[in-house]
Amino acid sequence: MMKRLPQEIIARKRDGHQLEREEVEAFVSGVVSGEFKDYQSSALLMAILLRGMTHEETGWLTEAMMRSGRVVKLPEITRPKVDKHSTGGVGDKVSLILAPLAAACGLCVPMMSGRGLGHTGGTLDKLDAIPGFSTQLDDATYRRQLLEIHQAMIGQSADMVPADRKLYALRDVTGTVESIPLLCASILSKKLAEGIDALVLDVKFGRGAFMANEADGRKLAQSLVAIASSMGQPTSALLTRMEQPLGRMIGNSLEVIEAMDCLRGEGPEDLMEVTYALCAEMLRLGGLEADAAAARTTLEKAIQSGAALEAFRQLVEAQGGDPRVVDDYERLPLTDHCVEIDAENAEPLYLARLDAHGFGQAACVLGAGRSSMEAVIDPAVGFELLKKEGDLIEPGEPLVRIHFNDATKVDRVVERLRLAIGLSPEPVAPQPLIVDRIVG
């Protein structure tokens, strides 16, 4: 086939055609080589978001992105190698808890994550809050670390999945995140390059997720599982609700603190429920536990014994971070200022809505996320939720503590938070967090 120009490929997708395999591959290699300029890549991403991709095109995109860098094989590792990935949420610090916890329970977890995307937070940004922590490991260090401490948390690089590194950053700031083929290719290209035996996916739906409703979340889960399975990767997905932020902390340092609280056995119920369910699924897929109940007992023991927290300390140390943060949270970047807001209610009312999307956007305005590719994140800022949906709120009771550095942003942030909070005179029944399990 004659090699098409970037603008011809963009126009074909704009007009609703299925791209040829060669066109998809030309796009991915052009992103890495620079032949596709950022504005052309952004235009094609938007065309894909609007026109969609067939299952075949999505598979080609995933494979081309995976092959844009080094694809690791880890034959030297005898433990089952299992990873998990989330499709993105607000307050979702599960990876920080789950990797050391799973390693403490006998798995090897080679985890490649991303930065914040849209209104959602990213594992790499959270890890960057730990002084000295590096998420860029060379091949030899990555392998040695997996052999020695059975876990590594890295990011896309010039060497591994460079196409996702570029496209991820562009999608973040061009309104092109909420596309099933782009989500699938981004997530699976990273996971399939890691050298794992099995994969567990946390597919989120709701106000704070990229899929707004359960039906779309299910479609995304089915597509992820089908593509991963067709590429020979045993995969299962949990469909989980993301209406209010997960846990109580939003913001990079604050979420590292909450993750360490969880590893100490002091985590909030909703966050632990999702973490245990995903980790149990990993133990099952890895062949270490026969059923969810047995897995849960193993996981709880690893937290109670301190083994999981110790594994986190080892991870921080191995990747150049200051392990003293584990016992001294003040060593993390923290703000000098806090302010609390209430709901301005004159009578007792129930908290009916803590809109995760609104909180995620407000966190970006505060500086915890990016509004352009060049934006610099403030790791210290964020929100502490003092109440969660369903709680009864007395007049004047504080709902949210805002940790800030730049006072000029606070009014805009408070305005957004007020819109994200809803009260009701009627008690609010909690909805189940974990809705389904989808297997290949």
- List residues with catalytic annotation: 85, 164, 171, 186, 190
**Minimum distance between the CB of residue 312 and ligand URA, rounded to whole angstroms?**
22
Binding mask 70-89 for ligand URA (x = CB under 6 A): -----------------xx-
Choices 180-188, 218-226, 238-246, 385-393 (CB under 6 A): range interacting with ligand URA: 180-188
3-state secondary structure of 251: coil
Choices 182-190, 217-225, 272-280, 423-431 (CB under 6 A): range interacting with ligand URA: 182-190
Q: Quick check: 186 binds ligand URA (CB under 6 A)?
A: yes
Q: Quick check: 117 binds ligand URA (CB under 6 A)?
A: yes
**Minimum distance between the CB of residue 110 and ligand URA, rounded to whole angstroms?**
15
User: Quick one: 135 or 335, whose CB is closer to ligand URA?
Assistant: 135
**Minimum distance between the CB of residue 115 and ligand URA, rounded to whole angstroms?**
9
User: Quick one: 7 or 213, whose CB is closer to ligand URA?
Assistant: 213
Q: Quick check: 19 binds ligand URA (CB under 6 A)?
A: no
Q: For the residues of 321-366, what is the DSSP string, one character each?
A: --GGGGT-GGGS---SEEEEEE---SS-EEEEEE-HHHHHHHHHHH
**Minimum distance between the CB of residue 114 and ligand URA, rounded to whole angstroms?**
4
CA 170, 175, 177, 179 dihedral sign is negative
User: Quick one: 118 or 379, whose CB is closer to ligand URA?
Assistant: 118
Q: Quick check: 98 binds ligand URA (CB under 6 A)?
A: no
Q: How far apart (Å, rounded) are the C-alpha atoms in residues 185 and 334?
A: 35
Both tokens of residue 44?
A: 């094609």
CA 22 vs CA 144, 184, 331: distances in Å: 37, 19, 50
CA 352 vs CA 52, 212, 219, 256: distances in Å: 35, 18, 28, 27
Q: With CB under 6 A as the rule, give the number of residues binding ligand URA.
A: 8
Return the residue of 114, 181, 321, 382 that touches ligand URA, per CB under 6 A.
114
Q: What angle do CA 223, 229, 235 make, to 5 degrees?
A: 85
**Minimum distance between the CB of residue 62 and ligand URA, rounded to whole angstroms?**
11
User: Quick one: 6 or 89, whose CB is closer to ligand URA?
Assistant: 89
Q: List the one residue out of 113, 114, 117 whose CA is nearest residue 90.
A: 117
**Minimum distance between the CB of residue 271 and ligand URA, rounded to whole angstroms?**
18
User: Quick one: 88 or 321, whose CB is closer to ligand URA?
Assistant: 88
Taking CB under 6 A as the criterion, which residues in 32-71 touch ligand URA?
A: none
Q: How many residues does the chain have?
A: 440
Return the residue of 183, 332, 363, 366 that touches ligand URA, per CB under 6 A.
183
User: Quick one: 146 or 187, whose CB is closer to ligand URA?
Assistant: 187
Compute φ and ψ for 229, nearest 5 degrees.
-65, -40
Q: Quick check: 299 binds ligand URA (CB under 6 A)?
A: no
**Minimum distance between the CB of residue 111 and ligand URA, rounded to whole angstroms?**
11
User: Quick one: 160 or 302, whose CB is closer to ligand URA?
Assistant: 160
- Distance between terminal CA atoms of the chain? 34
CA 263 vs CA 54, 82, 95, 113, 216: distances in Å: 41, 20, 12, 20, 32
Choices 52-60, 183-191, 343-351, 380-388 (CB under 6 A): range interacting with ligand URA: 183-191
Q: What angle do CA 135, 356, 337 make, to 5 degrees?
A: 70
Taking CB under 6 A as the criterion, which residues in 382-411 touch ligand URA?
A: none
Quickly count: other Cβ atoms within 10 Å of residue 305's Cβ.
Answer: 12
3-state secondary structure of 250: strand
Say if CB 73 and CB 196 are below 8 A apart: no
- Footprint of ligand URA (CB under 6 A): 87-88, 114, 117, 183, 186-187, 190
